Amino acid sequence: MSTVYPASTEAQERETLTASDLAWEQELNPWLAAEARFNIAAERLGMDEGLQKVLRTPSREITVYIPVMMDDGRIEVFTGYRVQHSIARGPAKGGLRYAPDVTLEEVRALASWMTWKCAVANIPFGGGKGGVICTPSLLSQSELERITRRYTADILEFIGPEKDIPAPDMNTNEQVMAWMMDTYSMHNRQTTTAVVTGKPLDLGGSRGRKEATGRGCMIVALEALKKFGMKPEETRVVIQGFGNVGGMAAMLMARAGFKVISIIEYDGALYNANGLDIDALMEHRKETGSINEFPGADSIDPHEALYLPCDILLPAAKENVITSRTAPKLNCKIIVEGANGPTTAPADEILQQKGVFVIPDILANAGGVTVSYFEWVQDRQGYFWNEQLVNERLTELMVEGFSAVTKYGDTHGVHNRTAAYMLALDRVAFAIKLRGLYA
């Protein structure tokens, strides 16, 4: 008697694996994620198909090839991008990142997120983003300067205080912005500080800018606690990332009374059930270059730390942290998205089913672009505000944004991310309708 086995061949197994890999790749694609959120919001708004096409399509995409003389005499050619997604509500606004894995698709997605972020924050900017494919850690300061200045010169006609205003992002800083501002000014034959934001204070930067994104995260977290009748001192917080956003959020939240029980970094994580001494941890990292071996906490696996029981999870490191694979294992009540795109589209449905209150990135981390707007205003006025005034005005706009998004969600019966996208699309579409289409 012969045994009949199921018709499962090696080829079929490979095909299944390939389909699975393709689905996972699509989930992690930032442009597809932005598109998925757009589609849901546009459908709920009943938006005209033609207007959807306008809102989906970037106004301009620029690719430049940057020849640079390296320190050893070699010539290298780097690739740079600048995408201006929308200028309907004002000049494009968005950061410039330096990284070896920068892609045009990623920059395009980030530019669209900036459009929606500026609209949610209700500031008069559109969305832009830039990137240069390079590995900053392998470049000298002079090589970085030459790359920055040539990149700026190559996109000169497309940027300006009334056109497109770059800012720091991944692996760029106030020094890079100073080089950009100087290059633009030399070609313009006059000092034009408002061409970029995130500059040094002595060159027209704003007080409070460094802390702005982290402070904005804290402000919306406080608003969420009010909504749920919670108190900061009773609130356990897990923060992924201890850079500018995560570090500042941790410091400000700890000072406001929150109990920051865990900090997660790429090379380790810390845990203290009674709350970490964030000021001491910052000093420890300054001295050692790492959060590891901090005497005031236990070391734990950084992957497992993400699933610690907590009230607030604040991902402030990178994109695609909360996915269809990680979302089911999260053990938090509130997510404050300090990073751009930390949650994939499929994970949204899982979080909604779990009843997690998500404060989406285009609201939660809008503090940075809001104070960048303040910097632009101060540069154009030639009059600079003290830090108290900056923080008061930031708080006012972040609270207004939180209120607008949650009310929009309650009115339309949708969760916060869809509400934020609906509000943003509505505001940008309204501006386009008022302006009309030039022909």
Residue 99: strand, helix, or coil: strand
Q: Is 199 labeled as catalytic in the residue annotation?
A: no
Spatial separation of the C-alpha atoms in residues 19 and 102, rounded to whole Å: 25
CA dihedral sign of residues 326, 330, 334, 337: negative
Q: What DSSP state is assigned to residue 59?
A: S
| Cβ atoms of residues 82 and 104 within 8 Å | no
Start-to-end C-alpha separation, the chain? 79
Residue 259: strand, helix, or coil: strand
- From the list 117, 129, 199, 210, the catalytic residue is 129
85: enclosing H helix or E strand: strand 75-86
Taking CA atoms, 119 is separated from 209, 428, 429, 430, in Å, by 20, 7, 10, 11
299: enclosing H helix or E strand: strand 298-300
Question: Residue 59's closest CA among 39, 87, 78?
Answer: 87
Spatial separation of the C-alpha atoms in residues 405 and 415, rounded to whole Å: 9
Tell how strand 268-271 and strand 259-265 pair up: antiparallel
Question: Which tokens hold the place of 435?
Answer: 């302006």
Backbone φ and ψ for 279, nearest 5 degrees, come out as: -60, -40
Catalytic residue set: 129
